[in-house]
Structure 1
């Protein structure tokens, strides 16, 4: 799904790592068969960030901060968002940020709140990094509680008008 972006970024001179989430694609059989949904996605992207940061050819600024972007769709999106949260936690201890920017597609904060984070925790984690979200009015993550309450498979939403969207944007007037 990310081939077009990966190819374009590579053409522009960026190092791109496209990965299978743990126990997906060519990474199958890596987790216990009875592992819960939460076992495979929370650390996959941040583990990749850690790996990339350790490579000599990956750019770092004069202070040692990584020039690494994370991006993903759906599960890759909330795993990317969790990578931002984990990177901010590491920054609080090390003073080094490895993630420079993030862009997610079709993913909201729902699964991160299940991990125990609040939307405020997540929004605070973005710190100074450049981040974006792409959310259509009928994104797949709108197959959610609101749709269930309305007895529909999906409901139309304007992400910018949601409490989460407003928080992501810094609660503008």
Structure 2
């Protein structure tokens, strides 16, 4: 059996995961990588791709599109894409220092005026950067469908557990 592959953008997270895998005797090929920068792979080799609370941190449309493309290209025919992610909860107020754009599902984090961060936007005289993306369950289902996935299951409350696979067709709830 070949090892599982795991990646994270944060080296400390990989170090912790590597230690935990070693303690349990589990074979995992770990790497520090930016999932948004993965090229589409020419060889579909995975039965399963799991996203554990990463998608909510992928805020911009072009990054999300790149991730979905990379996942699709890596899944074997009939393979599954399982996602756990935070969702938007209607009525929840944004915390101090944050602003929520209901039309996009993006939470923006306030930064000092004149910050040199990427994607700085001015909203009501304050400066913000995209921070997280919390879509409604319906919007997440629509996004995954538009990205070429068939949503087989989407269980939601404040977070969603989604099972999908490449392809289209009628999805269950």
Q: Which of the pair is proportionally richer in strand?
A: 2
- Is the pair's TM-score, using the shorter chain for normalization, greater than 0.5? no
Q: With structure 1 as the length reference, what TM-score do the two structures score? A: 0.35
TM-score normalised by length of structure 2? 0.35
Find the structure with the greater CA-based Rg: 2
Q: Comparing both chains, which one has the higher relative contact order based on Cα–Cα distances under 8 Å and sequence gaps of 6 or more?
A: 2
